[in-house]
Homo-oligomer: A and B are copies of this chain.
Amino acid sequence: MTANAAPTSDRELILTRLIDAPRETLYRAWTEPELMKQWFAPLPWTTPVIETDVRPGGSSLIVMRGPDGTEFPNPGVYLEVVKNERLVFTDAYTKAWEPSEKPFFTGIITFEDEGGKTRYTARALHWTVADREAHEKMGFHEGWGQCADQLAALVAKL
């Protein structure tokens, strides 16, 4: 349940879980701000502001707040949206199609039926090996792993 799949390139990080919830519920938890706020940051971090315009070219804004109150805004843009199946977004643009200060990664989230549960896979594709390494050192596996636990706990209640 906590195994990480093998990344397909040295610029990619990947996390996958089998979660006991329908794809539709996981998709809601990934797109509806009020649900996202309940799991999207690894506690004690929080996400006081989440805005999602879930369509290709739509903007997203996720403000992360650290334990000391410092806030980190993360603007991005959705590149591809397949309801209940797939979300692709990137921080390479702050809105359609304004280049950000620094293209860091592209996220690909997939939800697949698997034995009555859902195979949840989150991939982070970076432009450079250095950025993949930095993301890993920032705690990708621990952070996204803890968030996946929070996500699984939330959807179990929905």
Contacts and interface: CB of A to CB of B under 8 A. Distances in A.
Interface of A: 11, 56-57, 79-80, 88, 90, 92-93, 96-103, 106, 108, 125-127
Contact of A99 (B80, B97, B125): B125
A97 B103 contact: no
B125 A98 contact: yes
Contacts of A79: 56-57, 79, 96-97
In order of increasing CB-CB distance, the 8 nearest A-B pairs are A99-B127, A56-B56, A103-B103, A97-B106, A99-B125, A88-B97, A57-B80, A92-B92
Contact of A96 (B80, B92, B97, B103): B80
A96 B88 CA distance: 10
Given A88-B96, A98-B125, 15 more contacts: A11-B99, A56-B79, A56-B80, A57-B79, A79-B79, A79-B97, A88-B97, A90-B97, A92-B92, A92-B103, A92-B127, A97-B106, A101-B127, A102-B127, A103-B127
24 contacts: A11-B99, A56-B56, A56-B57, A56-B79, A56-B80, A79-B96, A79-B97, A80-B96, A80-B97, A88-B96, A90-B97, A92-B92, A93-B106, A97-B106, A97-B108, A97-B125, A98-B125, A99-B106, A99-B126, A99-B127, A100-B127, A101-B127, A102-B127, A103-B127
